[in-house]
Amino acid sequence: MSYTGWILLTASLVGLSCGTIGVLLILRRMAMMADAISHTVLLGIVVAFLVTRELSGYHMLIGAVVAGLLTSILIQWLQSRGVQGEASIGVVFTTLFAVGVILIATKVGNAHLDVKHALMGEITFVPWTTVHLPWIGDIPEATFILSIVLLVVLAAVIGFYKEWKITSFDPALAASIGIPVVVMHYAFMSLLSITTVAAFDAVGAIMVLAMLITPAASAYLWTDRLSLMFVLSGGFGVLAAVAGYYTAAWLDTSISGSMAFATGVLFMISFLASPKHGLLSKLLSPAVAAE
């Protein structure tokens, strides 16, 4: 495949997996949690690197899941001790993130791991690091890992569709009929962590947030059906990724920044034009009624 082809495929995989997870993130009202996770997985990556002394994608995934779970357990613990919700999220993620930054500065030196890269990502480098797969041949490692993560995310969302629905809508009812709400919570945090870290290489920690939240928030404006919201959100993610890439090529600017910007444009359009909640339909409907 061409260089551009790999980048577009990788970006689309980011859009699809972030868009899918983003729906649950929005409906479970955990957008702040994504903010926290997108920072603390840095610590997971650094520790994985210090332990294994190599920057392999699989080690990073494991490190990210551990860091993600640690983050959510610490936040839960502080909240159960009476620390106010958002404050405990802020305290935990800034602290863990700072530990990650300090470790990079003091222990890692300049071994392929710098803060700017982790925060901003660099999708243009993605095609250079490849892995060899039987039958398929050489493909970029980041693309391969993203495909696996997407499969895991889709399997989890589709396989446990009704369990996600009930624990998101009415956790008290879910618990009362014996669905393990707490297990589902940590499973979700794990999915969020692997999605975030897999998307890191392509778009960086900050842009992951845009990809996680904005396509899902846009999809929410267009539909009242959960299944359709998943499809739209994934589709918006891909659309923003592709549109962002071409915008960046056209304006010769940051790819990840353009992708995040594209998600914002999509949201603005949805906000103005969506049939149920959009400003346009609200402006138009009294006029229709008056005729």
Partner 1 sequence: MQGLSVTGLSAAYRKSKVLDEVNFKLPKGSLTGIVGPNGAGKSTLLKVMLELHPKLGGTVHFAGKPLKTMRKKIGYVPQRGSVDWDFPTDALDVVMMGLYGNVGWMKSPKARHREQAMAALEQMGMADYARRQISQLSGGQQQRVFLARALVQDAELYFMDEPLAGVDAATEQAIMTTLRELKGRSKTVMVVHHDLQTVEDYFDHVLLLNRTVMNYGETADVFTKDNVYRTYGAGLRWRQEVPS
> What are residue 138's DSSP bridge partners?
132
Does the footprint of partner 1 cover residue 32 (CB under 8 A)? Answer: no
By the rule CB under 8 A, 265 interacts with partner 1: no
Query: 230-234 contacts: CB < 8 A, separation 24 or more?
Result: 230/20, 230/23, 230/157, 233/19, 233/20, 233/22, 233/23, 234/15, 234/16, 234/19, 234/20
d(CA 87, CA 79): 9
Q: In angstroms, what is the minimal distance from the CB of 147 to partner 1? A: 23
| Residue 187 interacting with partner 1 (CB under 8 A) | no
Q: Name the amino acid, one letter, at 148.
A: I
CB 45 within 8 A of CB 102: no
- Using the contact rule CB under 8 A, the part of the chain among 125-133, 156-164, 251-259, 260-268 near partner 1 is 156-164
Nearer to partner 1 by Cβ, of 103 and 217: the residue is: 217
**3-class DSSP state for residue 83?**
coil
Q: Of the two residues 139 and 174, which places its CB atom closer to partner 1 in the complex?
A: 174
Candidate ranges 9-17, 79-87, 92-100, 186-194; the one touching partner 1 (CB under 8 A): 79-87
x/- mask, partner 1, residues 212-251, rule CB under 8 A, reads --------x--xxxx-xx----------------------
Residue 49, SS3 per DSSP:
helix
- Map residues 157-186 to x or -, x wherever contact with partner 1 holds by CB under 8 A: --xxxxx-xx-xxx-xxxxxxxx-------
| Cα(185)–Cα(76) distance, integer angstroms | 11
Question: What's the closest the beta carbon of residue 228 comes to partner 1, in angstroms?
Answer: 8
Measuring CA to CA, which residue among 61, 65, 121, 154 is closest to residue 241? 121
Cα dihedral 141, 69, 40, 174 sign: positive
Q: Rule CB under 8 A: say whether 97 interacts with partner 1.
A: no
Binding site for partner 1 (CB under 8 A): 27, 29, 80-82, 159-163, 165-166, 168-170, 172-179, 220, 223-226, 228-229
